[in-house]
Each structure stands twice: as structure tokens, then as C-alpha cells.
Chains A and B, each alone.
Chain A
Amino acid sequence: MVDVKFPDVGEGITEGTLVKWLVKIGDEVKADQAVAEIETDKAIVEIPTSKGGKVSKLYGKEGDIIKVGSTIVTLALPGEEMRIPEAELPEVKPQEKPVEVKPEIKIPEKPAEVPQRVLAAPATRRLARELGVDISAVAGSGPGGRVTDEDIRKFAELKHEVEPVAVQPLPEMKPAEERIQIKGIRKTIGERMVKSLFTAPHVVSMDEADVTELVSLREKEKKLAQEKGVKLTYLAFIIKAATVALKQHPYLNASLDAQKNEIVLKRYYNIGIAVDTPEGLMVPVIKNADQKSIMELAKEGERLAEEARNRKIKLPDLKGNTFTITNIGSIGGIFSTPIINPPDVAILGVHRIRDMPVVIDGEVRVRKIMPLVLSFDHRVLDGAQAARFMNTLIEHLEDPDLLLLDVM
């Protein structure tokens, strides 16, 4: 017999959620074959077995929290008899048969569940359609659970305020409140943000870049990039400009070693990019961004974002950031105050490019303006340094030729 354990995957991870069994009792597995998927604070990892054998026991069920180092699967090695305590079989069995629709199943004369009918008058149902409310998700406050016009209006407002929660109504019961357990990525985000905000004194510096020329450059080169299969994003240009500026202002590409009371200046430039995923914010890292071309940055940024969204991202791709960029502009907002992503000492927020009136030579012109914000750790940096960094960054964004010069 051999036990497959949840190994130490590093990054200080102590536990994970068992997402999916990849094997079932009685399966023959080969060495290095994955037996389960476990979601850690960082990503979903597949747990491999070091030896081949026959699965004789699975520990826990999907959704359980598994501690690092605990056994998840027991394998009977070739030649060993499979010992399955009979009493345990029924408990394990459900995992053997994932829910699947079999076409030959006959629909019973009487469905098992009593159908749920929406209790609402025609005028109320019409109001729901008018306000784009899924009436079946609304808890009725009227007698017998009847949905009133007031309920619909309240729901519509609520939906407006907390869109992400409201779009996933619970199918069966609709209580007035919903409780969602904080775990996985959400938990990590919370812990890291609290630590960052309450350790590092944050200062936010805001500025604007006139990116009119950058916009036309990108428009021009977009097609060429497309032919090479690359979606040429603004983010790629911004990463490039940031690495140039970071090289000139090394204190922004640093971290603070509080124990030794030292500032660590880093001569490698690993840029974290904030990605909005269904599970929450993830920050994949583009390594050695300073050595990559804009095309390469665009390509790699796209790949990492995609992997993060699909939960396919590997742990190493989530580690080692020295500076982070959050591109909130793709979603909305004019300004924000981002929280520094540890162990960085600064984070750059990029906002939506808008047509704005700008006075140039005493004349009002319409220019493409990109708002920029920089949150920095005042223990390491002062406002003047930050402003100088921003100036360099803006300079390179406003004059893309300069950006290209730096590349060469």
C-alpha cells in the first residue's frame, strides 16, 4: 500500500479545497498520474501519485478542506490485494457515479419535486420584464409569498448595486440575504490586502498622460499584430513604459525587508498584471518584462490572463512580482486608489482613455487622455520620487517613439 499525500506546494500554502476526484476506487493509475484537483489560495493544482497501483481508498469528498501533508488517496501496489472495508463503500460510492443524464431514463409519472410557480399578478410580471428582473429570483413579501411591485423595484435597485451577487440567484430558496463562505482566492485577496494596507502607509499620486499618438500608433500596428496572431493591447505599451521608468527610478522596483530594516532594490523587472476572474482578482506575473518586445508582452499578457480566468495558471506564473499594474480602465472609472501588491512597494493603476479638451498653445483641442494613479509605500518612497517616476512614465507614453528608442 502507498498513500498519496497533498504535498507542500510552497508559497506558505497550508490547505486547499478538494475540487474534483480524477480517479475512483478500483481505477488503475500510473506513476505521475493526477489523482485529484485541489484548489489552493493561488490556483488549482493537480495532485500526482509517485507510484502506480490500484486506487483502494479516497479520503474525503469534493468540497472538503484538505490540509497539506494529509493523505488523499491510498493505492494498492501491484500484487497487493485490494482491501476495501465494506462499511465504507456506500459512503464513497456517490463519487463513483458523477451525475450524468442518461437518455434511457424514463421521466416518472410524477416529478420528484413540486414545481415552483411565481406568485405574481400579470402587471407585476410585466414590471419585472420592464426592469429586466428575473421574477423567479425575487422573494415575495406579499401574503403567501406573492411578489409585489415593490419587491420587483427593490430587487431591481439591489441588482443595480451588487450586480455580481444578484446575477447568480439561488435556484430553490430566495432568502433576503445570502451568505457566501470566504475561501480560496477571495480569502487570499482579503488577507493580503489587509496586510498591505495596514502595514504600508499608502500614498496615491494621480496624473494624466496625453496618449493621442500612442492611440494612433496602436491603431496602425494593430493589424500587423493581428496577422501575427497577437492582440496588441495598450497594456503591453504601458508595461514597456513602466519597465523603462522603473530602470530610471530603482526605488519603485523594490521591496522592504522589515526584519533587517533594509530596502531591497531589484535588478529584475517582473511585472504583475491584475486580472479580473470569476473567482476574484488574480495577479499573474510577466517575468523579465524589460527584456521583452511589446509584441511579446502583449502575447504573454493575453496568455496569462486567459489562464488565470480558466484557472489553468501554474503557481510559478503567480509568483515573483516586483511591480504591479492594474488596468481598471478596461472596466470603468476615472481614478482609483489601488492597494499595493506585496512585496512590491508601488502599484500603477491605468484608467480608460477618453477624449478630453486640452489647452495646447492657448487653444482647446480634443486629445486622448489616460488617467494614471500610483499608490506607493511611503516607508520606501517619497512623493517626489514617485512624481519623477510618473513623469518618466508619462513622457514615454506620450511619445511612443521614445519608447521604441528604449527598446532598441
Chain B
Amino acid sequence: MVMGDIVTGCDVLVIGGGPGGYTAAIRASQLGRDVVLAERYDLGGACVYRGCIPSKTLIHAANLIYDIKNPGNIGIKASVEFDYKKIQERRFEVVKKLRDGIGNLCKKYGVQVIKGEAYLESSDKARITSHDGTTSTFEFGNAIIATGSRSQELPGLPFDGKLVIDSNEALGLMKVPEDLVIIGAGYISAELGTMFAKLGTKVKIVQRSSRILTRFDPEVVEVVSQKMKKLGIEIYYNSKFRGLREDNNKAVVKISEDKGIETELRADKVLIAVGIRPNTEKIGLENTRIELDERGFIKVDEKRRTTDPKIFAVGDVSGPPFVAHKAFREGKVAAEVIAGLPSAFDNRSIPETVFSDPEIATAGLDEVSARKSGFEIKTGKFPFRASGSALTMDSTDGFVKVVSGMNGEILGINIVGANASMLIGEASHSIEMAAFLEDLAGTIHPHPTLSEALAEAAEAALGKVVHI
């Protein structure tokens, strides 16, 4: 504590400057609130530094390299050289632009940004400690916790930043590893595994169950796992991590496969991608009335209020899915509720995208989850090999699958294929607007584009498709 510590008042204190936090701060400020935003590193959060942006920048480069090398049957012959260091330098440029952009927005909307770690001393007071040790105390009307999440460690195998790394460190590697073992087969594993394979790494994925990407429709995943196989990625299904030793600066990962066969995998790096845990420690939650759910996330209601009436929580710290766009929306909802507006996080669709090859993008429910929720459903599928646009791009893997209730209400749209992530916005909007199959089928989609496949899939569900 510094001498003469003065308590400053503010309407809203936002803890964490990631997608949820800075959005909440700016929106609250736009609504006339006096806002302080505490961020311990730089503005932007995992999205800008450790997740979305760095990974997509590198994946874009890896895809270019791969596509040039593998132009398919379109009549091009080319060879490619690349400088991974330069690719990484461009990544830093992209990150810097975004970080500065967020800083400017905060300035523009009058958000007071304080670099330091915030600690809640009570339900209406927090201390922010800067890196140089100075502290300032804020009394707030409301607080919004947006402290995000981090990679889950494997029990008994802490990240060492050398051999055992998390996704953030994997993205930060300045040299493409020769051999990479990935424990876990969620979206991080699929994205980074594919990326490194395209950059020339021998990738091995160790997965506990008999499937990868278990969150998604098996039919969708099948298209991706076929391609992963083609890229030379080896997936060890039903396999458990048994131990790790170091040998000559390399990691030797011991796993037990199906039927108990033990195998040793050698790798330059072992990437642990087994899950995500919320950042709920060291922020003084115990001094408030905030409760956590059974998985350790902060409990929130539709208005993103915690069990402490003055405090809100948004983004990863308040539960899955761990996507920036959910945090953006939640941040706005929390700020608007604080400003007295009738906002609520009542979204039907939180789209999810996997930047695998081909991409996966989903909105709403899939066939399995819809049935599990009790819906009687109809489905309609349109394969990209029947799409004129996909043919022109020589990119015909994948399909669009529409899931609707028996009344025709669209419950979900699942896409696997080139640019799936770019197509899912329309799907999400349809679900949010409570569109019926007829609405999607009756909308004119430009030809020749991949977006036509959405209308075609809806027609297929209606039983009157023309193009297949």
C-alpha cells in the first residue's frame, strides 16, 4: 500500500481488457457511465494475443503455402519457399494494429484504462496494482469481471515453455518444429495440427476417445479427419497419456493405445490442448458474494449478473463456449443492463468455427443435439460437389446440413467446407430471426457463390431440391 492511497469513485469498473471487457467498457461509456478498465497486460486479451488473431494469421500463411504447393487440377505448377520468422513478424504487426485500434477506441469513448491487476476488496471496492507496485483504489457502482481463461494443464505435467507448451506458446514458436505431439483433439488441436502439418511438421495427435472434435456432428468431423489423414497427421484414438521424459532435448511421450499397447512418440514439442480453465483466482472473488458453478465458472443470469447484485461477469470466465463473439455480445448486454436498458443475453445461436481444412462452422443445434433436446427434426443436406461455385474453386469437399423442427423452424445449420466460417453469419442470423426453411429457401442467393448451398440445403429439407 502506497502512502496517501486515495479512493477514487467510478460508475463501472471493468476487470480485464479482452473482447468482453473492452466491449463492455466502451458500451458503458457510450451510455454515459464513468468507466475504469483494468488490464494487467495489453488491451485485446487472448483473442488478440494468444488466440483468434495470431492463429488465423498463421493459418492463413500455412494455407497459402499449402495451396500453392497443392493447386489441384487447375493447371498451375509452382514451388514455394517461406521464411517463418517473417511470417511471425507479420503476425506481430497484425496484433499491434489491433491492440492500438482498441486503445484508440477506449480513448475515443472516454474509457480510463489502467494497466495493472485488479483485486476486489469488497462488493464495491477494488484495488488496482500496477507493475511498478503503485496501487490505486476504486469504489465502483458496478463491476464487470472479464478476466477470461487460460489453457488447462495436464495433471502432473505443467507447462514448461520448452518441451511442454500450450497453444499460446505453440503460436509463438519462431521455428517450425519437426515433430509435434498434441495431447487432446478439440478445435485447437485440429487447427494447429493442420497448420503445422502444412508447414511441414510431422504431427501426432493423442486422443482419449474414438473421435476428434467431439463437440461437432460426426458427419461434419469425418470430412475434416479425412483431410487430416491426407496431410499426414497421425491420430492415436482411445489413447492415454502415460508419461513424458526428456531425451537429447526432445520429448518422449509415452502413451497407451487401445488394448493397452504402449507406444513412445518422439517430439520437439508437446502441445497440451485438453481444455480451458477460467481465470477466477487472485481477483478477490472471496470478498464478494460471487458464486462459482460446479465447473468453476462464475455463475451469471441472463443479464450477466453474478450472485453479487452489483457485479457482472462476461466472456470465458462466465462459461463456455470460449469464443470472442460471445464475449462481445455479453459485454454489451452487461453494460446496457447497468445503464438500465432492457437487454438480455437471450441468443439462440452462438456460432462456432474451426479453422481446420476444410473449415467447420456451426450455428444453433446439430442433428444429435437437437434430438437430445427433444426435438423431432427434419434435415436437409447439400454437398459442395453439387455447387457450381465450389467446382470453380476446385474445392468440393464438405456440405451444408440444415436441421429444422417438424414445423420447419430452423434449429441449426452445420457447414463443413471451404470458407464455412464466412458462410455461417447468415445461418446464425436465420436462427436468431426464427426463420423457417421456406424463408431460407425463398431468399435469393447470388450465383455462383458458396452461399447458395444454404438455400439448397433448406430446399432439401423441404423435399424439393433442384440441384441434387
The complex places the Cα of A290 from the Cα of B434 at a distance, in Å, of 66
What is the minimal beta-carbon distance from A122 to any residue of chain B, in angstroms?
6
Known: A121-B432, A121-B434, A122-B432. A113 touches B374 (CB 8 A): yes
The complex places the Cα of A130 from the Cα of B336 at a distance, in Å, of 13
User: Which of these, B343, B344, B407, contacts A144 with CB under 8 Å?
Assistant: B407
Query: Chain B, 198-221, contact with A by CB distance < 8 Å: what is the 0/1 string?
Result: 000000000000000000000000
The count of residues in chain B whose C-beta lies closer than 8 Å to any C-beta of chain A is 21
**A109 beta carbon closer than 8 Å to chain B:** yes
Query: Chain A, 387-403, contact with B by CB distance < 8 Å: what is the 0/1 string?
Result: 00000000000000000
User: Which of these, B347, B373, B407, contacts A115 with CB under 8 Å?
Assistant: B373
Q: Is the interface of A mostly helix, strand, loop or mixed?
A: loop
- Contact indicator A114/B374 (Cβ below 8 Å): yes
Q: Which A residues are in CB contact (< 8 Å) with B467?
A: none
Q: Which B residues are in CB contact (< 8 Å) with A126?
A: 342-344
CB-contacts of A95-130 with B (<8 A): 109-115, 117-122, 125-126, 129-130
What is the minimal beta-carbon distance from B109 to any residue of chain A, in angstroms?
23
**A146 beta carbon closer than 8 Å to chain B:** yes
The complex places the Cα of A145 from the Cα of B436 at a distance, in Å, of 11
Q: Which B residues are in CB contact (< 8 Å) with A117?
A: 348, 405, 409, 434
Q: Which B residues are in CB contact (< 8 Å) with A229?
A: none
The complex places the Cα of A110 from the Cα of B371 at a distance, in Å, of 7
- Contact indicator A114/B432 (Cβ below 8 Å): no
**A85 beta carbon closer than 8 Å to chain B:** no
- Contact indicator B433/A115 (Cβ below 8 Å): no
Q: Is the interface of B mostly helix, strand, loop or mixed?
A: loop
**B408 beta carbon closer than 8 Å to chain A:** yes
- Contact indicator B344/A129 (Cβ below 8 Å): yes
The complex places the Cα of A113 from the Cα of B407 at a distance, in Å, of 15
Query: Chain B, 352-385, contact with A by CB distance < 8 Å: what is the 0/1 string?
Result: 0000000000000000000111111000000000
The complex places the Cα of A143 from the Cα of B374 at a distance, in Å, of 23
The complex places the Cα of A48 from the Cα of B347 at a distance, in Å, of 55
User: Which of these, A112, A114, A119, A125, contacts B375 with CB under 8 Å?
Assistant: A114
Known: A110-B371, A114-B405, A115-B374. A120 touches B434 (CB 8 A): yes
- Contact indicator A144/B408 (Cβ below 8 Å): yes
What is the minimal beta-carbon distance from B343 to any residue of chain A, in angstroms?
7
The complex places the Cα of A117 from the Cα of B404 at a distance, in Å, of 12
User: Which of these, B342, B374, B432, B436, contacts A111 with CB under 8 Å?
Assistant: B374
Q: Which A residues are in CB contact (< 8 Å) with B408?
A: 144
Most chain B CB atoms below 10 A, which of A111, A115, A144: A144
Query: Chain B, 399-419, contact with A by CB distance < 8 Å: what is the 0/1 string?
Result: 000000111110000000000
- Contact indicator A119/B374 (Cβ below 8 Å): no
The complex places the Cα of A113 from the Cα of B374 at a distance, in Å, of 7
- Contact indicator A119/B342 (Cβ below 8 Å): no
The complex places the Cα of A119 from the Cα of B431 at a distance, in Å, of 10
- Contact indicator A144/B373 (Cβ below 8 Å): no
- Contact indicator B409/A119 (Cβ below 8 Å): yes
Q: Which B residues are in CB contact (< 8 Å) with A120?
A: 434
**B346 beta carbon closer than 8 Å to chain A:** yes
What is the minimal beta-carbon distance from A177 to any residue of chain B, in angstroms?
23
Q: Which A residues are in CB contact (< 8 Å) with B372?
A: 109-110
What is the minimal beta-carbon distance from A271 to any residue of chain B, in angstroms?
45
- Contact indicator B409/A110 (Cβ below 8 Å): no
CB-contacts of B75-114 with A (<8 A): none
Query: Chain A, 269-287, contact with B by CB distance < 8 Å: what is the 0/1 string?
Result: 0000000000000000000
The complex places the Cα of A143 from the Cα of B408 at a distance, in Å, of 11
- Contact indicator A144/B433 (Cβ below 8 Å): no
Most chain A CB atoms below 10 A, which of B374, B376, B405, B407: B374
Q: Which A residues are in CB contact (< 8 Å) with B374?
A: 110-115
The complex places the Cα of A52 from the Cα of B347 at a distance, in Å, of 61
The complex places the Cα of A275 from the Cα of B371 at a distance, in Å, of 50
CB-contacts of A139-164 with B (<8 A): 143-146
- Contact indicator A121/B433 (Cβ below 8 Å): yes
- Contact indicator B371/A144 (Cβ below 8 Å): no
Query: Please, which residue of chain B has its CB at the minimum distance from the CB of A113?
Result: B374
What is the minimal beta-carbon distance from A319 to any residue of chain B, in angstroms?
49
Q: Which A residues are in CB contact (< 8 Å) with B344?
A: 125-126, 129
The complex places the Cα of A121 from the Cα of B409 at a distance, in Å, of 13
Query: Please, which residue of chain B has its CB at the minimum distance from the CB of A119?
Result: B434
Q: Which B residues are in CB contact (< 8 Å) with A143?
A: 436
- Contact indicator A144/B436 (Cβ below 8 Å): yes
The complex places the Cα of A143 from the Cα of B375 at a distance, in Å, of 20
Q: Which residues of A contact B (CB under 8 A)?
A: 109-115, 117-122, 125-126, 129-130, 143-146
- 23 A-B pairs within 8 Å (CB atoms) are namely A109-B372, A111-B373, A114-B374, A114-B376, A114-B405, A117-B405, A117-B409, A117-B434, A119-B409, A119-B434, A120-B434, A121-B432, A121-B434, A122-B346, A122-B347, A122-B432, A126-B342, A126-B343, A126-B344, A129-B342, A129-B343, A129-B344, A146-B434
Given contacts A119-B409, A144-B407, 8 further A-B contacts (CB under 8 A): A110-B372, A113-B374, A114-B375, A114-B376, A117-B434, A122-B346, A126-B344, A145-B407
Nearest 7 pairs of A and B residues by beta carbon: A111-B374, A129-B342, A119-B434, A130-B342, A121-B433, A115-B374, A144-B436
